[in-house]
Amino acid sequence: MKALHVLIGVVLLLVLLAGAFFVLSSAFAGDARWSEVLDLAKGYKLYAIIGTLLLVFVLLVYALTSFSLPQKNQYIAYDIEGSSVSINTRAVQDFLSRLADEFAAIEELVPTLRVVGSGVDVQMDVKVRSGAQIPELSRMLQERARMMLREKVGLSDVREVRVRVQEIVGAPPTETASGDKPETFTL
């Protein structure tokens, strides 16, 4: 929707600038030129009406594409001991985002849940601090997320936990006087 909005905005801007340039250049070209433009407009009255209606329609579409549709809340539902539990996926995502506080090497963590049948798939987009052992960090983060979803949230069917490193932030660790690189990854 956003790309369509930008495209329509660019087209509208170009059309309006071209129209304004045409009208202003005709107006400043002298009275004879202005009279010619007005006479020409009288001969193409139907086209002027259709063009104006088309422009109004495009403006309406442009205005409508500026609004975003509300996102539908999605819930994870499961039964425990004869009762039903429904948890908003956004609440679970917020809960999982707190995992970033448990790992010093993680700068930012943005989890996404996708309900698939009776289970869930988890994707965690992370920004990692420079110097972190990414394979080990990813494995530990996956294990911790599975454990939290099973033990704290009550989801038994965690199908897939995927970690995507989006960015490595910070300067790389510098060498010490002895030539060794300091360890910066702590869990």
pTM of the full structure: 0.56
pLDDT value of position 187: 44
pLDDT tens-digit map of 110-133: 999 998 887 899 999 999 999 999
Q: Torsions phi, psi of 173, nearest 5?
A: -65, 145
- The CATH number of 75-169 is which of 3.30.70.1350, 3.40.50.720, 3.30.420.40, 1.10.3720.10? 3.30.70.1350
- The C-alpha atoms of residue 105 and residue 127 are separated, in whole angstroms, by 9
Sketch the domain layout of the chain as residue ranges: 2-65, 75-169
| Residue showing tokens 């929707």 | 1
Burial class (CB in 10 A: 0-12, 13-18, 19+), 104: middle
